[in-house]
Structure formats: C-alpha cells, structure tokens
Structure 1
C-alpha cells in the first residue's frame, strides 16, 4: 500500500535543481561539495534531507542568496512555479540590490579587442618611424 502524504524531506540537490537555482543536479551537487550551500547555518551533503522551514544560503558566482524553503518538489517546472518553493529573505534581497548597484557604478570594461585594420596600420607606422 502506498503512502500518499507529502514526503518528510527531499534531497538538497534535487530541491535546488527543481527550484531552478542550478541548471542540472550535477551543478547543484558540485556547489554543495564546494561548500557554496549551507542548510540552517551548517554545510551539508547532496543527500541531506531538506524540510519545509529550512533556511538555505546559496552562493552562485558573485551572487549570494538566503532563502526559506516554503514547499518541496522533486519536479522541475516553469520558473513561476519554482519561485513558489522558496522566499528570499529581506536582508538577502537588500544585499543583492546593493551589490547590483555597486557593479553598475564601477562599470565593466569589455575585454581588450584585437586592433582593427586602421589601428594595425597606425601601429606599423609608429614602429617603422623609430
């Protein structure tokens, strides 16, 4: 006989994938193994059971998120459904906004490009003039 109640817990790597924090379970597992995911203030393993009410700290690149688990799902659905699985804390949201504004103020300079034909000719003339 099957028990139809909601599961008591779900693997962290499965939930991170279903909530669309990572594109694949493998990437979620790598982030967990790399120490980029904390559950309730402590590190975890990919198979740790996640429960409703747990708090996760997630690091993706330079982005840091802190979310509360609202629901469990082992199926990856559309983004608007995935967003109902968690609630980002106000402190996390404010920090992320401040970091975004700081990046805009600093500005990012694109990578140095190879000189075009005109610039190459100028460089050649400067070197020949020596």
Structure 2
C-alpha cells in the first residue's frame, strides 16, 4: 500500500490529498528516509510524521484493506511517539499564550520597548 494511502487509512490525515502533500513537503519519513507519496509500506516499518510541530512515530503492524474506523486504528499501527514531544508542544503553546493572547494584533510601542529592554539586559 502507498504511504499516502496508509496515512489516510489510519486517520493521520483527513484526506488523501493532505497526506500526499505532506509527503511531497518532506514531512513523512520511512525508516529514517524522506518518503515520496508513492512509496510502498510494509509491516514492521518505522514511520515518522511531522504534524502540527509534533513528530509522531509509528510502526506499521498490518496493512488495512481500506480506511478504518477510529476504534480499529490500533490494529494496523503501533504509536511509539515519546511523551516529551507532546509536553514540548504544550509548553510552546503556553509560552506563546503567556505573552500575547490570540487576536490581540501586533505589539504596541510599549510592548516593543519592553522587548528591547529585555534583550539589552540579556546581552
């Protein structure tokens, strides 16, 4: 089965076109090598997928006949993503939220001066 179709079947991407685009952008690796969308996958291969700044690591257990339900996905893959990846993403989100809430626009003149003062202290 093609790698883009496998990622779509196991619900890593909502559409097959999204999976194909991710492969073309180099966000999918099979056994440590960047994979083209047409590359075939086989059981026990290691796949690494970069999605929303998290590197998901999974092992192919079996090839699904077609797109499977969310409850049956674990039959066809084993998720080996380290917990640190999710913790790092959570910390990143919190650090961005701490400084400026979403939708508040560009920094004000006072914000820029505070940033410049902070950077001068660090140097």
Q: TM-score band, normalised by the shorter chain?
A: 0.7 to 0.9
The root-mean-square deviation of aligned C-alpha atoms, in Å, is: 1.7
How many residue pairs align between the two structures?
Answer: 102
How do 1:1-130 residues align onto structure 2 when only pairs under 5 Å count? Answer: 10-89=1-80, 92-103=81-92, 105-106=94-95, 108=97, 109-112=101-104
Structure 1 stretches lacking a partner, 5+ long = 1-9, 114-130
In structure 2, the residue corresponding to 1:27 is in which secondary structure?
A: helix
Does the C-alpha gap of structure 1 residues 111 and 74 become closer, same or farther in structure 2, counting only changes over 3 Å? farther
TM-score, normalization by structure 2: 0.74
TM-score, normalization by structure 1: 0.71
Are the equivalent residues in 1 in contact too, given 2:54–2:86 (CA < 8 A)? no
Structure 2 stretches lacking a partner, 5+ long = 106-123
